[in-house]
Amino acid sequence: MKNNTILLVITCILVGLVSCTGKKENEEEKARKGWTLVCEDDFGESLDQAVWQKIPKSKHPSFRYMSGRDELYVFQDGNLVLRVLENTAASDTMPFLTGGITGGGIKGNSVSRMEVRARMNPVQGATAYISLLPSDKAKNISVDVMERYGVDEFVYQSVTSEYTTTQGMPDNPPSSALVGVNPNEYHIYGVEKYPDSLVFFVDDIRTKKYPRILTDIPGQFPFNDQDFNLFMGIRLNKDTDTTALPADMLIDWVRFYEPMTPSTKK
C-alpha cells in the first residue's frame, strides 16, 4: 500500500502545471534524469474533484457515451478503473456508458514531461486512450500519448493538427508510431513537450519524435502554442459487442515533471 502524501498545489502553479495530489512511492521509481517531479496523483480511494472532472457527454466521438454514474469509476487495488458497460436504463437511449476523466495538463510555451501508468482489459470495438487536448477546445489538435484499438497487441502514439488532417500531411514528418507492447500489462506511457518537438516514450524508452519543421503549409506544429488538458477514457464503436463488456482501463498513477535546468530542445 502506498503511503499518502500531498504535493503542494502551489508548486504545480509555479511551474505552470494544473495542480494534482497523490501518494508517496519509492522516490527512485519516480526519478527521471534531468527532470523534477512537480505533481502527481496515485488514485487511492476516491477521485479528487479539485483536480479531476468526469468527462461530460458530447458529440465528440470519444465522449458520446460518457456518463458520470458511479459504477463507471471504480477504485481497486490502488487503481482508478474506468469502465465501459452496457446501458440497461430504460430512461436512457444510449446503448453504452463509458467513464472518463479530464484534468491536469501542460501549459503552452513550457518544457514539460507527463507520464501515465496504465493497463487495459480489452474488448473488440473499444479504444482506450490517454490524450492531451487543447484547453480552448480548438479543432484538429491532439497529442495521443496512447491509443489501443480493440484487442491489438500494440498501441499508437500520434499527433493530430490542421497540417496532418486538413492539409493532408500526416507523413512529413510521420505523425504516428506503432509501438509493440502487451497492453494487458502495465506500461508507463509518456510524452515530453519542447518548443520545437514532442518526444514520446513507453516504459521510459524513447519511441518517437515529432519535430517542428520549416514549411509554408499552416498548422504544422501548434503544440507549443496551446494549453492542454489530459483526457483518459475509452472510445466505443457503435457496433461494439455488448456481450463482451465490460471493458476497463486501469490507471495506476499520473505524473508531471519540469526540467531541472532550462531546456529548449531534445
* DSSP result, 169-201: -SBTTB-EEEEE--TTS-EEEEEEEETTEEEEE
Is 143 within 8 Å of 223 (Cβ atoms)? yes
Question: Best-predicted range by mean pLDDT among 48-52, 78-82, 134-138?
Answer: 78-82
Please name the helix (run of DSSP H) or strand (run of DSSP E) that holds residue 9, with its range, or none.
Answer: helix 9-14
Q: Which pTM was predicted? A: 0.87
- The pLDDT of 41-68, averaged and rounded, is 90
Whether 163 and 169 have beta carbons less than 8 Å apart is answered as yes
Name the nearest CA neighbour of 115 among 209, 46, 248, 204.
Answer: 204
Domains of the chain from N-terminus onward: 45-253 (2.60.120.200)
Instruction: Name the pLDDT band for 93 (thresholds 50, 70, 90).
Output: confident
pLDDT digits (tens, 9 = 90+) for 177-236: 999 999 889 999 999 999 999 999 999 999 999 999 999 999 999 999 999 999 999 998
Q: Can you give the pLDDT at residue 241?
A: 76
How many other CB atoms sit within 10 Å of the CB of residue 187?
Answer: 20
Q: Is the pLDDT of residue 91 over 50?
A: yes
The sign of the dihedral angle between the CA atoms of 262, 8, 186, 74 is: negative
Q: Tell me which residue of 38, 49, 7 sits closest to 24, measured CA to CA.
A: 7
pLDDT in tens, 10-27: 333 333 334 454 444 567
Residue 230 cell numbers, joined = 489530459
**Spatial contact of 144 and 159, defined as CB atoms under 8 Å apart:** yes
What number of other Cβ atoms are within 10 A of residue 239's Cβ? 9
pLDDT at 31 exceeding the cut of 90 = no
